[in-house]
Amino acid sequence: KRIEAGYQGRLSSEAIAAELGVSSSYLSRKLKEETGQTMGEYITAARMERAKSLLTAGRMVYETAEAVGYRSPQYFSSVFKAYTGMTPNEARGGGSE
């Protein structure tokens, strides 16, 4: 829940683990066991799923990037394309960039 609620900012496994009162290595191990994903993969997936819904709702790419925790819209666009196979503009329904 912490990841889904806080993915807009800078997240670290250390900060999340401290909030939960466990070690970072324990948290990472348990997350991998439960989801099959590393912490970074899980955070990226949460961010990209939220980005898809924002873009589909008509948000601009730069607004979406900021809303899901990316400072650079260009970097966000490259991560989004790698994750979804389409550009953010395609997800918005606007065709290719």
The rounded mean pLDDT for the chain is: 86
- The pLDDT value recorded for residue 19 is 84
Query: Which tens digits make up the pLDDT trace of 35-60?
Result: 999 988 988 998 999 999 999 999 99
DSSP H or E run through 94: none
**Structure pTM?**
0.79
- Distance from chain centroid for Cα 93: 21
For tokens 């953010």, the residue is: 88
For residue 51, give the DSSP letter.
H
**Token pair belonging to 24:** 């970072």
